[in-house]
Amino acid sequence: MDAFTHAIEAFVSKNKSEDTDGYALAAVKLLAQNLEEAVSDGKDVDVRFNTVFASYLAGLAFTKAGVGYVHAIAHNLGAKYGTPHGIANAIVLPHVLSEFRFEMKTNLALLADAAKVSSEEQSEEQKAQAFIDYILGLQKKFDIPNTLDALKKEDIPDLAKAALKEAHWTYPVPVYMENEQCERLISQLLSK
């Protein structure tokens, strides 16, 4: 899921290029074809290789294009609560995609096509939602929660401030959030 996050954030980045798009799309295709099998039964060496190679391609993409709010929030969850990076990314990813699904719909639709989770009959918005639903489905299949038990409501303002500082200083995010929006997004990670 960390590799998916790297590929997706690179693909929606303002710093994306033809090269980074190629790496990101290839990573998404390979992950969509191999990740579930790699997680359920890692004995197939070809499947494992394809998953690792997808991670490498996603790394090439984000190294040049950058990452975004998923990483900014995940880094701060890791710093505050010790949440492992890959798990934090996996928890945050669908929330950020849902928050910006309209602003990123063209890119999300292309990712849905790459992952083969959309159809030609679907509109761009439907394809974008299909991709988000696919990510949510993987999260569920892999028993990754969509909330963080460690998160405390009183920490949200500081977490949002730190995430925005990180993202606005260094990341080519497609849309910049205001503090209130970021706090609302992080609040979605609260366990009930």
Tell me what percent of the residues of the chain surpass a pLDDT of 90.
Answer: 95
Query: What is the amino acid identity at position 32?
Result: A
Convert the pLDDT of each residue in 90-148 to its tens digit.
Answer: 999 999 999 999 999 999 999 999 999 999 999 999 999 999 999 999 999 999 999 99
- Report the pLDDT value the prediction gives residue 60, as an integer from 0 to 100: 98
Give the per-residue pLDDT at 32. 98
Question: Would you state the structure tokens that stand for residue 38, as one six-digit string?
Answer: 């790699």
Per the DSSP assignment, residues forming a β-bridge with 73 are: none
pLDDT tens for residues 24-35? 999 999 999 999
> Looking at the predicted structure, is the pLDDT value of residue 170 above 90?
no
In this predicted structure, which of 69-73, 162-166, 167-171, 176-180 has the lowest mean pLDDT?
A: 167-171
pLDDT of residue 175: 85
What is d(CA 113, CA 134) in angstroms, rounded to the nearest whole number? 12
pLDDT at 174 over 90: no
Long-range contacts of 177-184 (CB under 8 A, 24+ apart): 177/69, 181/99, 182/69, 182/73, 183/156, 183/157
Average pLDDT over residues 45-69: 97
pLDDT at 54: 98
Q: For residue 91, what pLDDT is reported?
A: 97
Burial letters for 73-95: b for 16+ Cβ neighbours within 10 Å, e otherwise? Answer: bbbbbbebeebeeebbbbbbbbb
Average pLDDT over residues 17-21: 97
Structural domains of the chain ordered from first start? 2-187 (1.20.1090.10)
